[in-house]
Amino acid sequence: MGKSLFIVFEGGEGSGKTTQAKGLANRLRKLGFPVVLTHEPGGTLLGNRLRRWVKWGRGVTVQTELFLFFASRSQLVNKVINPALEKGQFIICDRYEASTFAYQGYGRGMDLDFLKMVNTFVTDGRSPDLTVLLDISAEQGLERKKMKMDVFEREGFLFHQRVREGYLKMAAADPERWMVVDATLREDKIQDIVWEQVQKSLG
């Protein structure tokens, strides 16, 4: 059984995470690595239901919202992420715990220590080997996402600026396990930069 990795893509609205997560999954699969590509919120039956509520629900309080994200994560870690890693498969996840710290912590102003404590309980300390931050300014990111706006996309510009700053702080605090890529670069260029790092992580 080869080495498996748990890789997460993070970033603000319109950062192109989903495309990059798919691109990396395809590249690894072509080389014969077993890959599970998943996302948050969602990735399980219950998680996908919760996803609808956090994105489109009306009258959902911010406290409820937080625990919906945690509930979705608990299902994903226990039903998908841990079983895959135990089998030696790669996990590529579009958003994970850092989204909670960035959006609920830095964005909504919830206490970070409290969020970390509950998150550790929910994930049992399972954290990614590598987090790729696709960094984009709040203006540019929101510009790319003008169509159907969910709860978060409707938040103001300052909220998204705080989210971005939160992400950059987390990345700067843990450079061994985070990489920051300029999300305005060409898609294939970003893919190559990420690929180089993944190869290093694989050793």
Q: How far is the CB of 154 from ligand TYD (least distance, A)?
A: 10
Q: Does 95 bind ligand TYD (CB under 6 A)?
A: yes
Report which of 81, 69, 72, 80 is spatially closest to residue 6, judged by C-alpha positions.
Answer: 81
Nearer to ligand TYD, 5 or 163 (CB): 163
At its nearest, how many Å lie between ligand TYD and the CB of residue 121? 15
Is 13 an interacting residue with respect to ligand TYD (CB under 6 A)? yes
- Residues binding ligand TYD: what is the number (CB under 6 A)? 14
Contact status: 104 vs ligand TYD (CB under 6 A): yes
d(CA 188, CA 20): 9
**Closer by beta carbon to ligand TYD, 33 or else 140:** 140
Place of tokens 């404590």: 117
Q: Do residues 135 and 9 touch, judged by C-beta distance below 8 A?
A: no
Q: How far apart are CA 47 and CA 68, in angstroms?
A: 8
95 or 162: whose CB is closer to ligand TYD?
A: 95
Helix-helix angle 62-76:112-123, to 10 degrees: 30
From residue 191, alpha-carbon distances to 103, 130, 138, 195 in Å are 25, 15, 22, 6
Q: Helix or strand or coil: residue 150?
A: coil
Does the protein bind ligand TYD through residue 44 (CB under 6 A)?
no
Residues facing 23 on adjacent strands: none
- Please say which residue, 90 or 152, places its beta carbon nearer to ligand TYD: 152
Closer to ligand TYD by CB, 6 or 103: give it: 103
The one-letter code for the residue type at 77 is: V
89 binds ligand TYD (CB under 6 A): no
- Residues in contact with ligand TYD by CB under 6 A are 13, 17-18, 40-41, 54-55, 69, 95, 99-100, 103-104, 152
